Amino acid sequence: MQRFDNAKAAALALRPDDPVYCFRPEVLKADARQFMGMFPGKTAYAVKTNGEQLVLKTLVEAGVTAFDVASPGEFAAVRAVSPDAEMLYMHPVKAQSDIRLALEKYGIRIIAIDHEDEITKLSRIVQALDIDPGTITVFVRIQTKGQAAYELSKKFGAGPANAVELGHRLHRHGYKVGLCFHVGSQIEDPDVYERALASADWVRNRLGFDIAGLDVGGGFPAEYGEDPRRKKREMPSLGQIMSRLRGDLREYGFDEVPLVAEPGRVIVARAFSLIVRVLLRKGRRLYINDGIWASLSDSWTGKITLPARFIADPAIRSRNGLEQNIVPFKVCGATCDSVDILSRPFWLPETIDTGDWIEIGHIGAYSLSLRTRFNGFYPDTFVEVTTPFEEGEAPQGLASLETMAD
């Protein structure tokens, strides 16, 4: 992989017409180690956030030994980078053939459920393979209420009373029993974790046996851009959220229980930026070579503000407007689909023009993993970059939260 100091150097050297992902392995390692240093238990990286081989490999190098996986594709991706990484199969609803594959081929012994029929499926395979249930830890996923950029508890999780029943049933079958929840993504209110811990505590107190573990899921917030035109939102740092969580874990007496977290976004967001090219400027519209069907669907659905940096093409001799004037542009994606328009403007220097590039920062989570081949466009070019995004020139622009009239 080609290596550059920063994205500007890459853009000017390669003059790319296709989107280019700028990977920062040292940032990824630092963010993974920071999380592991703060969380008082096992860190299992959530592979769905970004399952690129170079990411998984770098995480193994950083000391990550456990991965949260949900599908045969993810089992294989983890195995490909590490023969002995531990996998936690935390998808509550699984195909029977996938459960078999997990237990038989990949040796997975940690699994999540939220319904009795999942226990039936699991037990069928466990019997067929003649595995001692006592070697398997089954986490009962508890429903939680929260507010996150993405609310995931609507889809999965057993109500507390039902979770108690499931726990008893698993215990009778001879499994080790843990409790887990996942409160959503990009959590900005530590009370969300506390409410989930209160539910877990309620369930645990009715089980009548010691639980084998508590998995607090993911949802830890990454830092994104800030729109300087808006009142600064008070957002707790990861350190603040973690110290609250550690305090709450102690308060509910979970500090004696083996703990697991499944961070995704907070570990990988800063590790990538994306260079896109302006294919056409039409007034206050920019047509770029990426969009909601490629790398930008998360910022589109998640209402996230990404920092952006203008990279001027030196070949453009004359420019209209003033470099210092930062103005909003409506951004249209690469495909012919009329919904492929970002819901929020990019704020960029007024002089930006056809042929220039834009570096979009903090794009490592849920961007590469969500890209599609729709319309024949599939960004897949990578370079390595050594300088962290924030350490370069100040970003002049951003993809803001404000909506824009047509």
Figure out which of the listed residues 25, 51, 218, 379 binds ligand PLP, where binding follows CB under 6 A.
218
| Distance of closest approach, residue 152 Cβ to ligand PLP, in angstroms | 6
Site track 241-280 with ligand PLP (rule: CB under 6 A), x = hit: ---------------------xxxxx--------------
The residue range among 33-41, 44-52, 299-307, 323-331 that interacts with ligand PLP, by the rule CB under 6 A, is 44-52
Residue closer to ligand PLP by CB (options 213, 218) is 218
Query: Considering CB under 6 A, how many residues would be counted as binding ligand PLP?
Result: 17
Residue closer to ligand PLP by CB (options 122, 334) is 122
Residue closer to ligand PLP by CB (options 24, 91) is 91
Residue closer to ligand PLP by CB (options 302, 355) is 302
Examine residue 121 and tell whether it contacts ligand PLP (CB under 6 A).
no
Examine residue 144 and tell whether it contacts ligand PLP (CB under 6 A).
no
Buried b (16+ CB within 10 A) or exposed e, 169-208: bbbebebbbbbbbbbbbbbebbebbbbbbebbbebbeebe
Cβ within 8 Å of residue 302, ≥6 positions away: 149, 150, 185, 186, 366
d(CA 279, CA 287): 5
Site track 284-323 with ligand PLP (rule: CB under 6 A), x = hit: ----------------------------------------
The residue range among 43-51, 115-123, 232-240, 344-352 that interacts with ligand PLP, by the rule CB under 6 A, is 43-51
d(CA 313, CA 327): 19
Residue closer to ligand PLP by CB (options 297, 335) is 297
Cβ within 8 Å of residue 283, ≥6 positions away: none
d(CA 286, CA 283): 8
At which residue do the structure tokens 């053939």 appear? 97
Q: For the chain, how far is it from start to end, CA to CA, in angstroms?
A: 41
Figure out which of the listed residues 219, 225, 361, 397 binds ligand PLP, where binding follows CB under 6 A.
219
| Distance of closest approach, residue 47 Cβ to ligand PLP, in angstroms | 9
Please give the torsion angle defined by the CA atoms of residues 264, 267, 270 and 273, in that order, rounded to the nearest 10 degrees.
-50
Examine residue 178 and tell whether it contacts ligand PLP (CB under 6 A).
no
Figure out which of the listed residues 144, 153, 185, 295 binds ligand PLP, where binding follows CB under 6 A.
185
Examine residue 52 and tell whether it contacts ligand PLP (CB under 6 A).
no
Examine residue 364 and tell whether it contacts ligand PLP (CB under 6 A).
no
Q: Which of residues 91-120 bind ligand PLP (CB under 6 A)?
A: none
To the query of whether residue 336 is one of the catalytic residues in this protein, the response is: yes
Q: In the chain, what's the furthest Cα-to-Cα distance?
A: 77
Do 240 and 378 meet the contact criterion of CB atoms below 8 Å apart?
no
Quote the Cα angle for 266-272-276, to 5°: 135
Which tokens sit at 333?
A: 């994606």
Site track 188-217 with ligand PLP (rule: CB under 6 A), x = hit: -----------------------------x
Figure out which of the listed residues 28, 46, 216, 334 binds ligand PLP, where binding follows CB under 6 A.
46
Listing DSSP states for 117-159 in one string gives HHHHHHHHHHHHTT--GGG-EEEEEBP-----SB--TTTS-B-
Which tokens sit at 249?
A: 């874990």
Catalytic residue among 22, 180, 332, 336: 336
d(CA 245, CA 242): 5
Which element (helix H / strand E) includes 273? strand 272-282
Q: Which residues bind ligand PLP (CB under 6 A)?
A: 46, 48-49, 68, 90, 182, 185, 217-220, 262-266, 365
Q: Which residues are catalytic?
A: 336
